[in-house]
């Protein structure tokens, strides 16, 4: 077992563009030290990351997760070979704490066995959407408490990896439906699963067809073009967008190739090395998800997807659940200004009235 | 929801068999923050002329534009100024809030009020943004005060009662860091006594100043050693004096030179360390997690507990949102009514105006018509006169012509006779 191999992190090589200095001063004030302070604070608090993998059974989702995080994420026997596929869609969530170089990461992986496996897959995305929205709801409830915690536990799904079966043709209607609906709510990263069944040419053709399909159906996968702010980010993200969806192969067994120990799949005609860019694009996926865009995934989830959910939620006033000891706060004085009584379903009635055309009396 | 079985296994620690790479997370986080920039807001409370602006200039190594304040302010006013500073690749949006006129009035009872109001107003603005339905918190310019530097006058005795009262009012709203200003006027032995007197007075009056955090190992030691020197005795200066072979910020007196950055002369370096280099992030966090949360809780309870029984259980914000929405809709309706009424009124007014104008026009028309008729009559009269005259003239003319012609005839005969007489040839003798 050899020592931990370090592949270069693309994050550190990315440098910020020089900004026009509004007021330059000699570096004796020490404002720079705030960066270290931030780092220390972050290390102390630890990080959270929630990832969801969606795809039909047998596409290698669990293996992929194990490969990504280089550990046995799934302990119990999931529906695998020999176990009958579940009759309904289930959501299976595990949380682990992984530590690297003193940094703690609480990783939550949600699997969706049974997705797309039934004969009638109508509305199979609804349980998934429901789960995602429920996490947003939990966060919202915590956020609007009067006495709230210092650090709200974040269970919102930061990234959803969608596994596209390697048919080689184009996206199936199920894929398109799912992607369309989920891209509005969560960051979706589509990948071509089991890419070892495609040759390089087939892979490129498949990829371009998928990209065309995505464009024609207006599906905005991560990294979303409309959220690019920095010119540096734009360039980086354009490069990534050219390669989406990544063709990946997952493996959690090690083999010896040329004296090195690599993760790979052994077949009669060769060993497919997972971390070899010439064989598959797994390193790109890993870099995107973990090494360079993890914080960005979380930020977009928090600043955009969660905010969108919140806007919708807070506008549906009459659907808010009532907690214990709920008291009708609609003040009686309202009745005097507007004609008619304001009852407990006041907001919706008043809203309707406001929308009516005002009648003018002369 | 049908068919969802969410199984959560116990949280356990996993061991990694290879390098995953998320140790770059702090760098990712920091990259994000540097591209957004940081906000830091300092409030300087102290009497006029105690050296607040000079200290800020010295701390941040920049000359912030400002004129010295006068002593004639009728009340305490807060003046906020924002600056954008940059050091290597870190951008800082610094806001310095000054209390103008603090301690100048004869009656200082209400001196603390504008300060408390200002701090509350910043919290309120943030709260309003947070409660908005469509909000943008991630690029919100945070104006909440992160640190309050309280300038204590170097009397050498004890805190003034104004200081105690003001600090007591501010300690639950902002991180207070007390400093002794113009410390070069106190001798060293007096300084030590002064500091301990101040600290014991603060403790005995229950004033909670900012505690430098000691829970993180990396900063615990330095924070603990620095806390002992509170309140920091500082000297500010933007002028440079040649000391040895380099220029240093100092104040030059006939009896010596007080070097600002010399730790044996004053505590300026300690203040800079504590305020900026070690605890800036913690100050911001305390402001957000403690002071702001306290304000928010009080404000929401204030809003939420209206019109209810005092012994009803506390409920969450949803009801407050409903009430807010009711209020909002009620206001909208009221506004609509008002606007409608105003519209009706305006229309009536305009109508009346138009009627008036119409009447005027009619009158004018009548007047004009009358004048026209009069003029016409006059003209006709004159015409008649003229015709009469012409007739008379014609008659006269005719008469004179007749007379003339008669006279001519007789005259012509006479002249012929005369002419014949005179002509000898025609004379018949």
Chain B's closest residue to A324, CA to CA, is B315
Where is B177: in which H helix or E strand?
A: strand B176-180
Chain B's closest residue to A71, CA to CA, is B16
Contact residues, chain A, for B82 at CB < 8 Å: none
Which A residues in the span 237-256 are in contact with B, Cβ-Cβ below 8 Å? none
Selected residue with higher pLDDT from A255 and B67: A255
**Do B45 and B149 contact (CB within 8 A), yes or no?**
yes
Nearest CA distance, A219 vs chain B (angstrom)? 24
Chain A's closest residue to B268, CA to CA, is A29
Q: pLDDT of B129-143, one tens digit each?
A: 887 777 788 788 889
Mean pLDDT of A300-326: 70
The DSSP 8-state label assigned to residue B274 in this structure reads I
Strands A159-164 and A254-257: unpaired
- Residue B292: its pLDDT value, please? 92
- Residue B366: its pLDDT value, please? 94
Please indicate, yes or no, whether residues B208 and B68 belong to a single structural domain of this protein: yes
SS3 B226: helix
* A28 to B61: CB separation less than 8 angstroms, yes or no: yes
- Choice among A137-141, B1-5, B409-413 with the minimum mean pLDDT: B1-5
Give the closest residue to A31 by CA, choosing from B288, B84, B91. B91
In a domain, B232, yes or no: yes
Query: How many domains does the structure of chain B reveal?
Result: 2
Where is B366: in which H helix or E strand?
A: helix B317-422
Give the closest residue to A170 by CA, choosing from A215, A126, A125, A138. A215
From the list A12, A29, A96, which residue is nearest B61 (CB)?
A: A29
**Do A207 and A200 contact (CB within 8 A), yes or no?**
no
* A350 to B89: CB separation less than 8 angstroms, yes or no: no
Contact residues, chain A, for B271 at CB < 8 Å: none
What ipTM score was computed for the predicted complex, to two decimals? Answer: 0.72
Contact residues, chain B, for A315 at CB < 8 Å: 133
Please indicate, yes or no, whether residues B214 and B351 belong to a single structural domain of this protein: no
Chain A's closest residue to B137, CA to CA, is A303
Please indicate, yes or no, whether residues B147 and B227 belong to a single structural domain of this protein: yes
Please indicate, yes or no, whether residues B251 and B357 belong to a single structural domain of this protein: no
Mean pLDDT of B171-180: 92
- Residues found in chain B: 429
Mean pLDDT of B59-88: 80
Instruction: Tell me how far apart the alpha carbons of residues B3 and B5 are, in angstroms, rounded to a whole number.
Output: 6
From the list B86, B300, B326, which residue is nearest A21 (CB)?
A: B86
Instruction: Tell me how far apart the alpha carbons of residues A127 and B4 are, in angstroms, rounded to a whole number.
Output: 7
Grade residue B304 by pLDDT with cuts at 50, 70 and 90.
low
* B87 to A338: CB separation less than 8 angstroms, yes or no: no
Please indicate, yes or no, whether residues B331 and B237 belong to a single structural domain of this protein: no
Grade residue A265 by pLDDT with cuts at 50, 70 and 90.
confident
Where a domain ends, among B272, B303, B334?
B303
Using alpha carbons only, give the angle A335, A339, A341 rounded to the nearest 5 degrees.
45
SS3 B136: coil
- Choice among A157-161, A261-265, B194-198 with the minimum mean pLDDT: A261-265
Mean pLDDT score of chain B, rounded to an integer? 83
Which A residues in the span 188-217 are in contact with B, Cβ-Cβ below 8 Å? none
Residue A31 has pLDDT above 50, yes or no: yes
> Which of B63, B140, B322, B336 is the mutation pick for testing A, counting most A CBs within 10 A?
B322
Which A residues in the span 133-172 are in contact with B, Cβ-Cβ below 8 Å? 141, 144-148, 150
Please indicate, yes or no, whether residues B272 and B205 belong to a single structural domain of this protein: yes
> Which of A30, A298, A346 is the mutation pick for testing B, counting most B CBs within 10 A?
A30
* B29 to A39: CB separation less than 8 angstroms, yes or no: yes
Q: Does A81 contact chain B (CB < 8 Å)? A: no
Chain A's closest residue to B280, CA to CA, is A34
Chain A's closest residue to B326, CA to CA, is A347
Q: How far apart are the first and last CA of chain B?
A: 172
Chain B's closest residue to A325, CA to CA, is B313
In a domain, B393, yes or no: no
Joined tokens for residue A238: 């354009």
Q: For B256, list phi and psi in degrees, rounded to 5.
A: 155, 180
In a domain, B141, yes or no: yes
Residue B46 has pLDDT above 70, yes or no: yes
Q: pLDDT of A266-279, one tens digit each?
A: 888 888 888 888 88
From the list B2, B9, B276, which residue is nearest A94 (CB)?
A: B9
Grade residue A337 by pLDDT with cuts at 50, 70 and 90.
very low
Mean pLDDT of B81-105: 86
Nearest CA distance, A207 vs chain B (angstrom)? 26
Counting one residue from chain A and one from chain B, the pairs whose CB atoms sit within 8 A come to 325
Q: Please, is B171 exposed, middle or buried when counting C-beta atoms within 10 Å of its C-beta (0-12, 13-18, 19+)?
A: buried
Please indicate, yes or no, whether residues B286 and B162 belong to a single structural domain of this protein: yes
* B4 to A91: CB separation less than 8 angstroms, yes or no: yes
Please indicate, yes or no, whether residues B289 and B355 belong to a single structural domain of this protein: no
CATH of the domain at B147: 3.40.50.300
Residue B275 has pLDDT above 60, yes or no: yes
Instruction: Tell me how far apart the alpha carbons of residues A114 and A53 are, in angstroms, rounded to a whole number.
Output: 12
Above pLDDT 90, what percent of chain A?
Answer: 10
Please indicate, yes or no, whether residues B155 and B176 belong to a single structural domain of this protein: yes
Mean pLDDT score of chain A, rounded to an integer? 75
Under 8 Å CB-to-CB from B108, ≥6 apart: which residues?
B162
Q: How far apart are the first and last CA of chain A?
A: 91
Selected residue with higher pLDDT from A319 and B75: B75
> Which of A33, A78, A123, A254 is the mutation pick for testing B, counting most B CBs within 10 A?
A33
- How many contiguous H segments (helices) and E segments (strands) does chain B have? 10, 11
Please indicate, yes or no, whether residues B140 and B259 belong to a single structural domain of this protein: yes
* A295 to B319: CB separation less than 8 angstroms, yes or no: no
Contact residues, chain A, for B276 at CB < 8 Å: 29-31, 33-34
Please indicate, yes or no, whether residues B377 and B269 belong to a single structural domain of this protein: no
Q: Does A122 contact chain B (CB < 8 Å)? A: no
Instruction: Tell me how far apart the alpha carbons of residues B56 and B231 are, in angstroms, rounded to a whole number.
Output: 17
Nearest CA distance, B204 vs chain A (angstrom)? 30
Residue A233 has pLDDT above 70, yes or no: yes
Grade residue B180 by pLDDT with cuts at 50, 70 and 90.
very high
Instruction: Tell me how far apart the alpha carbons of residues B66 and B54 are, in angstroms, rounded to a whole number.
Output: 10
In a domain, B17, yes or no: no
Please indicate, yes or no, whether residues B252 and B281 belong to a single structural domain of this protein: yes
Q: Does A77 contact chain B (CB < 8 Å)? A: no
Residue A85 has pLDDT above 90, yes or no: no
Q: For B422, list phi and psi in degrees, rounded to 5.
A: -70, -30
Joined tokens for residue A210: 């998928």
Give the closest residue to B250 by CA, choosing from B268, B232, B230, B233. B268
In a domain, B25, yes or no: no
Number of other residues whose CB lies within 10 A of the CB of residue B6: 12
Mean pLDDT of A186-200: 89
pTM higher than the cut 0.90? no
Q: Does A127 contact chain B (CB < 8 Å)? A: yes
Joined tokens for residue B262: 């010399």
Residue A346 has pLDDT above 80, yes or no: no
Phi-psi sector, A340: left (phi>0), alpha (psi -120 to 50), beta: left
In a domain, B211, yes or no: yes
Contact residues, chain B, for A18 at CB < 8 Å: 89
> Which of B2, B21, B214 is the mutation pick for testing A, counting most A CBs within 10 A?
B21
Instruction: Tell me how far apart the alpha carbons of residues A99 and A46 are, in angstroms, rounded to a whole number.
Output: 10
From the list B2, B22, B32, which residue is nearest A105 (CB)?
A: B22
What one-character-per-residue DSSP string does B114-166 give?
HHHHHHHHHHHHHHHHHH-SS--GGG----S--EEEEEEP--SS---HHHHHH
Contact residues, chain A, for B219 at CB < 8 Å: 40
Domain that holds residue B335: 316-384
Could you identify the residue written with the tokens 């184009």? A170
Class of domain A38-74+87-112+124-317: alpha beta
Contact residues, chain B, for A92 at CB < 8 Å: 5-7
Number of other residues whose CB lies within 10 A of the CB of residue B4: 15
Dihedral of CA atoms B217, B221, B224, B228 in degrees, nearest 10, equals -170
Q: pLDDT of A133-152, one tens digit each?
A: 999 988 988 887 777 888 88
Chain A's closest residue to B127, CA to CA, is A144
Nearest CA distance, A263 vs chain B (angstrom)? 10
Instruction: Tell me how far apart the alpha carbons of residues B153 and B182 are, in angstroms, rounded to a whole number.
Output: 8
Q: Does A294 contact chain B (CB < 8 Å)? A: yes
Grade residue B399 by pLDDT with cuts at 50, 70 and 90.
very high
In a domain, B423, yes or no: no
Q: What share of chain B is helix, strand, coil (3-state, %, to 5)?
A: 55, 15, 30
**Do B392 and B399 contact (CB within 8 A), yes or no?**
no
Residue B385 has pLDDT above 50, yes or no: yes
SS3 B237: coil
> Which of A327, A332, A340, A342 is the mutation pick for testing B, counting most B CBs within 10 A?
A327
Q: Which residues face B12 on adjacent strands?
A: A96
* B31 to A147: CB separation less than 8 angstroms, yes or no: no
In a domain, B401, yes or no: no
């Amino acid at each position: 077992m050899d020592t931990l191999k370090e592949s270069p992190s693309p994050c550190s090589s990315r440098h910020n563009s020089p900004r026009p200095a509004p007021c330059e001063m000699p570096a004796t004030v020490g404002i720079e030290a705030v960066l270290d302070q931030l780092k220390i604070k972050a290390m102390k608090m630890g990080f959270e990351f929630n990832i969801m993998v969606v795809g039909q059974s047998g596409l290698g989702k669990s293996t992929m997760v194990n490969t990504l995080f280089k550990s046995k994420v799934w302990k119990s026997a999931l529906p695998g070979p020999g176990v009958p596929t579940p009759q309904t869609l289930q959501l299976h969530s595990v949380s682990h704490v992984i530590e690297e170089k003193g940094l703690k990461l609480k990783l939550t992986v949600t699997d969706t066995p049974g997705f797309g496996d039934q004969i009638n897959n109508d509305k199979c995305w609804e349980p998934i959407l429901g789960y995602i929205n429920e996490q947003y709801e939990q966060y919202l409830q915590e956020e609007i408490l009067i006495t709230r915690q210092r650090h709200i536990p974040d269970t919102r799904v930061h990234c959803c990896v969608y596994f596209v079966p390697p048919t080689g043709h184009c996206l199936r209607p199920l894929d398109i439906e799912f992607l369309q609906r989920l891209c509005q709510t969560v960051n979706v990263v589509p990948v071509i699963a089991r890419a070892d069944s495609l040759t390089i040419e087939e892979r490129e053709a498949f990829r371009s067809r998928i990209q065309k399909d995505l464009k024609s159906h207006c599906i905005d996968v991560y990294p979303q073009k409309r959220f690019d702010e920095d010119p540096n980010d734009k360039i980086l993200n354009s490069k990534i967008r050219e390669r989406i969806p990544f063709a990946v192969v997952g493996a959690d067994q090690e083999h010896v190739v040329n004296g090195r120990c690599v993760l790979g799949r052994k077949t009669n005609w060769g060993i497919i090395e997972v971390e070899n860019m010439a064989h598959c694009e797994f390193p790109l996926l890993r870099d995107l998800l973990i090494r360079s865009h993890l914080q960005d995934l979380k930020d977009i989830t928090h600043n955009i997807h969660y905010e969108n959910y919140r806007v919708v939620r807070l506008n549906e006033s009459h659907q808010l659940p009532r907690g214990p000891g709920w008291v009708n706060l609609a003040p009686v004085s309202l009745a005097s200004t507007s004609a008619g009584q304001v009852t407990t379903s006041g907001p919706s009635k008043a809203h309707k009235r406001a929308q009516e055309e005002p009648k003018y009396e002369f | 929801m049908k068919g969802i079985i969410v199984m959560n296994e116990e949280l356990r620690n996993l061991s990694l068999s290879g390098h995953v790479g998320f140790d770059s997370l702090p760098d990712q986080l920091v990259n994000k923050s540097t591209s957004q920039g940081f906000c830091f807001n300092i409030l300087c409370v102290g009497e006029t002329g105690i050296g607040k602006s000079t200290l800020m200039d010295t701390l941040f190594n920049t000359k912030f534009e400002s004129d010295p304040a006068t002593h004639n302010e009728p009340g305490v006013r807060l003046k906020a100024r924002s600056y954008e500073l940059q050091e290597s690749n870190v951008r800082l949006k610094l806001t310095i809030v000054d209390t103008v006129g603090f301690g100048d009035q004869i009656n200082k009872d209400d001196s603390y009020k504008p300060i408390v109001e200002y701090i509350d107003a910043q919290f309120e603005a943030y709260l309003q943004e947070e409660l908005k339905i469509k909000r943008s918190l991630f690029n919100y310019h945070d104006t909440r005060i992160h640190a309050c530097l309280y300038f204590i006058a170097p009397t050498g005795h004890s805190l003034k009662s104004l200081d105690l009262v003001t600090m007591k009012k501010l300690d639950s709203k902002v991180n207070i860091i007390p400093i002794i200003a113009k410390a070069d006027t106190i001798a060293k032995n007096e300084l030590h006594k002064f500091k301990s007197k101040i600290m014991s007075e603060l403790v005995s009056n229950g004033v909670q100043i900012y505690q430098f955090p000691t829970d993180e190992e990396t900063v615990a030691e330095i924070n603990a050693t620095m806390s002992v020197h509170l309140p920091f005795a500082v000297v500010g200066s933007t002028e440079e004096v040649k000391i040895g072979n380099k220029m240093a910020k100092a104040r030059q007196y006939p009896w010596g030179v007080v070097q600002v950055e010399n730790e044996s002369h004053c505590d300026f370096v300690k203040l800079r360390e504590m305020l900026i280099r070690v605890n800036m992030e913690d100050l911001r966090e305390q402001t957000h997690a403690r002071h702001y949360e306290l304000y928010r809780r009080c404000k929401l309870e204030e809003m939420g507990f209206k019109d209810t029984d005092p012994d009803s259980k506390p409920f969450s914000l949803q009801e407050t949102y409903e009430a807010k929405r009711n209020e909002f809709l009620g206001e909208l309706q009221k506004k609509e009514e008002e606007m409608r009424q105003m519209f009706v009124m305006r229309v009536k007014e305009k109508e009346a105006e138009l009627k008036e104008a119409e009447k005027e026009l009619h009158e004018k028309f009548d007047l004009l018509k009358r004048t026209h008729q009069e003029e016409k009559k006059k003209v006709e009269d004159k015409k008649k006169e003229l015709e009469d005259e012409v007739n008379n003239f014609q008659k006269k003319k005719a008469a004179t012509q007749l007379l003339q012609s008669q006279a001519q005839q007789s005259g012509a005969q006479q002249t012929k006779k005369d002419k014949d007489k005179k002509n000898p040839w025609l004379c018949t003798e």
